A and B are shown apart, each in its own frame.
Chain A
Amino acid sequence: MALSKLSNLYRQVIMDHAKHPHNNQPLPQADHEIELRNPTCGDVLTVQLKIQDDKIIDVAYTGTGCTISQASASMMTDQIKGKTTAEVEKMVLGFSDMVLGKEVPDMERLLGEAAILQSVAQFPARIKCATLAWKAAYQAIEESENDD
């Protein structure tokens, strides 16, 4: 009964991503890599990017974590592949606003399937789980920009 509320958070798509995450393997050709830790639970996630001409050529992640962090990482990799770094930065900020419960213009177009994680906004304790992979991608891109 009470768990019906739980299915607002754990939608089927989210469960599927967590069970069978996409791009969940090392990326040998990566040129940028960021490891981030969720300080509340100790989960560690590493996001690897291959960036060429300001474009995400490939992306993958490794690490374990809860359903939300895994699904979010999986969706993030799907969504940012092929995008420019500027686009991805915008997506990450939009994603972060979304899970904080803020209005995000054009959310579905901006975030694609990852927009389903909007439900995390109702579970404030889980926001950090959802944003971990996105933050890592953002930091990896910032690092790449500092190289130039």
Chain B
Amino acid sequence: MDKKMNDLLEDFPILKEMINDEKLVYLDNAATTQKPKQVLDTIRYYYEHDNANVHRGVHTLAERATKQYEQVREKVVNFIGGNDPHEVVYTKGTTEALNWVAAGYGATHVHAGDEIVVSYMEHHSNIVPWQQLAAKVGAKLKYITLTADGQLDLESAKHVITDKTVLVSLCHASNVLGVVNPIKEVAQLAHQHGAIMVVDGAQAVPHMRVNVQKLGADFYAFSGHKMLGPTGIGVLWGKKELLAGMRPLEFGGEMIANVGLYHTDFKEPPYKFEGGTQNIAGVVGLGAAIDYLTEVGLDNVTAHEKSLSKYVLPKLQKIPGIEIYGPSDPDIRTGVLSFNLTGIHPHDLASALDMDGVAVRAGHHCAQPLMKYLGVGATARASFYLYNTKADADLFINAILEAKEFFSNGSF
């Protein structure tokens, strides 16, 4: 295997942290990922050597900061298979990106009686902005159903997407069910009906090679912090002609071409969206995260996660009383595993695992409609990433067995 893959653990200082006297086993990567030294060092270097405001000064430092800020746009566009850096808009994350599409594009392109289509597996950030938009313009929000094993049901998509549909928005990969959605097929369907395809790539870009053009996406959103980058930076990629017709939501400095007393001309995309001083250090950090992932190789990341999920899934499936959500075939799963144990509330389970240093998430994972659809209140979720090992998987399984013993015997 790649050089990187073997010794990358050393790049993540936090993984040596002791949690409740045990070594940290960090399995909450779907929530946010840890940051390698390379990213942290790059941000530090930026502040120590290049910090200035971008697009403003004529001085050398401002030029250096601006250059980096714009270079990352190129890195981003190459990373996700786009071809024009001007189609990359910096946002604070996926949530902001999707909200901007809803409020900046949707508000003028979605009308009364139109239909917006999402699915039952969406994160709240890919539901609530559309609910708000639908309520505002009098459009209808419709949901694509899932198959019994938790995959997007393409048959349902064919029924739900109609000539009334103007916008379809789906997650590329689920933050609960561990599935990757057939975006290409759905995008074709959407386009056949004259609708645009919006993709929430928060759980995809960190884990697999993404090509927004091959997917047929019209807008594509993701977050830096879920892919080794800092918090507070994300991306909205959008097709040029769509970005041109999208209204900015932040008015002020930076985003203007000319300000009169009563009228202002905005800059061209992406600049018209980036009002005010931006998260420049965040952008620089995102660039470093992209470099890091590129060096490791996205295909290696995907393969590593797949091998971990192939290793851990059968062990998990053997635990009596366990229910695992999503498909049982590891070949079609990502490193996200959501599950419940009969008789143990996920909150209790997560506290027990935490005592063993194992960090998992318990709750509704910002997907309450999905929880309702699955008929559960909450689940536990372990999500693996490139720095997790088989040893982590073993500690995770052992911690579950211990917790199960603890709660079912009550012998303490």
Write the residues of chain A forming the contact surface with B, with a CB cutoff of 8 angstroms. 2-7, 9-10, 12, 15, 40-44, 64-69, 123, 125-126, 129
Contact = CB atoms under 8 A, between A and B. Distances in A.
Contacts of A2: 20-22, 355-357, 402
Contact of A3 (B350, B355, B368): B355
Contacts of B402: 2-3
B351 A125 contact: yes
Given A3-B352, A123-B351, A125-B354, 7 more contacts: A2-B356, A2-B357, A7-B406, A10-B412, A42-B363, A43-B378, A129-B347
27 contacts: A2-B20, A2-B21, A2-B356, A3-B352, A3-B356, A3-B412, A6-B351, A6-B352, A6-B412, A10-B407, A10-B412, A12-B410, A15-B410, A41-B346, A42-B363, A42-B364, A43-B347, A44-B377, A65-B377, A66-B345, A67-B347, A67-B407, A68-B347, A69-B347, A125-B350, A126-B347, A129-B347
Contacts of A123: 351
B403 interface: yes
A126 B352 CA distance: 12
Contacts, number: 72
Determine chain A's interface SS by DSSP, over half rule. Answer: helix
A41 B20 contact: no
A41 B376 CA distance: 11
Contacts of B364: 41-42
A43 B377 CA distance: 6
A54 B364 CA distance: 38
Nearest to B21: A2
A61 to B, nearest CB: 16
Contacts of A125: 350-351, 354
B303 to A, nearest CB: 32
Contacts of B378: 41-43
Contacts of B363: 40-42
B371 interface: yes
A42 B377 contact: yes
Contacts of B20: 2, 5
B406 A3 contact: yes
A41 B377 contact: yes
